[in-house]
Amino acid sequence: MGDYELTPESAELLEYILAKVENIPSLPIILSRIMVMLDDPEAKIADLQYLIAQDVSLTTNVLKIANSAYYGFSGRIKTISQAIIILGFRTIRSLVFAASAYNILKGEVSGYGYKSEELWKHSVINGLLSRELSQRFGVEDPEVAFITGLLHDVGKLVLAPIVEEHIQTIKTIIEDKGLEFYQAERHVFGFDHGILGSRLLQKWGLPALYVQVVRDHHSPVFESEYFKEICFVHIANYICYKLNVVSPFEKNVKIGSYILRNLGMSTSDVQRIYTKGKEILSDWEKSFEFLK
């Protein structure tokens, strides 16, 4: 589990929390079928269109996003098949995830100080920044980076009620020890929201890449098979912090120097992504916020 192992007691608490999950929506069953089809080089546009069309809400939201200012096709994409042809299978995969994740992430998450829509906003901005990092510094499929960024904080939905009960203790630890929020979670619970979120993704049947990025996004380990993907979300989280698109309880967020070194990045590169992040943030209302 990265460089962090659970004690028997914390593992028992984690399993207890997961067993009590009732109010967190699962990803639609149709999404897993779409994911399989999108990874199939023999998949046909008509088959994918038919599958997406089985979910009216999903179809509507995919078309809304496809016609947003972010993609530059305002009002021109009328059907799912058009969207697939114009945007491509990989981008459609991101749109399907974004449309599905909205229903999961849109609510108030008071344990972390998020009002309605704020966790959703943080998640999308992180996803867009992760994609930007991926395009500049390299993995084969930047759309995967968008999806991992979108899902990285899903564990907060599950942990929030318990965090709320212990928030004063967590805040005190952060102030006294100069720690980040996730480190204070580990002090109190023996695990953090990333570890819990990774288990939730396992329950949803998502691929190992997404599970590992969600688990380790606060503490990337160089030996990980998905080190780059984890680091992109990690750096995007730092930039979100600098842009003030994070929980109001977040403090002391930083990037480890070993991360930049192993990616071949400099602080100037981070500054350039931060500048791009300001553009992404200013385009937010024209891109995804209309879903609400």
* Beta carbons within 10 angstroms of residue 5's beta carbon: 10
pLDDT of residue 292 exceeding 60, the answer is no
Check residue 181 and give its pLDDT: 96
Query: Which distant-in-sequence residues (6+ apart) come within 8 Å of 91 by Cβ?
Result: 71, 143
Token pair recorded at residue 189 = 């619970």
Query: Which distant-in-sequence residues (6+ apart) come within 8 Å of 114 by Cβ?
Result: 108, 122, 156, 247
pLDDT of residue 192 exceeding 70, the answer is yes
pLDDT of residue 237 exceeding 90, the answer is yes
Average pLDDT for 261-276: 93
Check residue 1 and give its pLDDT: 45
Q: What angle do CA 191, 195, 197 make, to 5 degrees?
A: 130
Average pLDDT for 240-249: 94
CA 116 distance to own-chain centroid: 17
Query: Phi first, then psi: what are they for 64, rounded to 5°?
Result: -60, -45
Mean pLDDT for the chain? 86
* Beta carbons within 10 angstroms of residue 115's beta carbon: 12
DSSP annotation string for 71-127: TT-TTT--SHHHHHHHH-HHHHHHHHHHHHHHHHH-S-BGGGTBPTTHHHHHHHHHH
Q: Are 284 and 125 in contact (CB under 8 A)?
A: yes
Average pLDDT for 10-38: 75
pLDDT band of 169, cuts 50, 70, 90: very high
Check residue 24 and give its pLDDT: 65
Q: Which residue has the tokens 């400099």?
A: 266
Check residue 3 and give its pLDDT: 57
Q: What is the pLDDT of residues 40-81, one digit of tens each?
A: 778 788 888 888 888 887 888 888 888 877 777 877 888 888
Average pLDDT for 6-19: 86
pLDDT of residue 271 exceeding 80, the answer is yes
Q: Are 34 and 51 in contact (CB under 8 A)?
A: yes
Q: What percent of the chain has pLDDT over 70?
A: 93
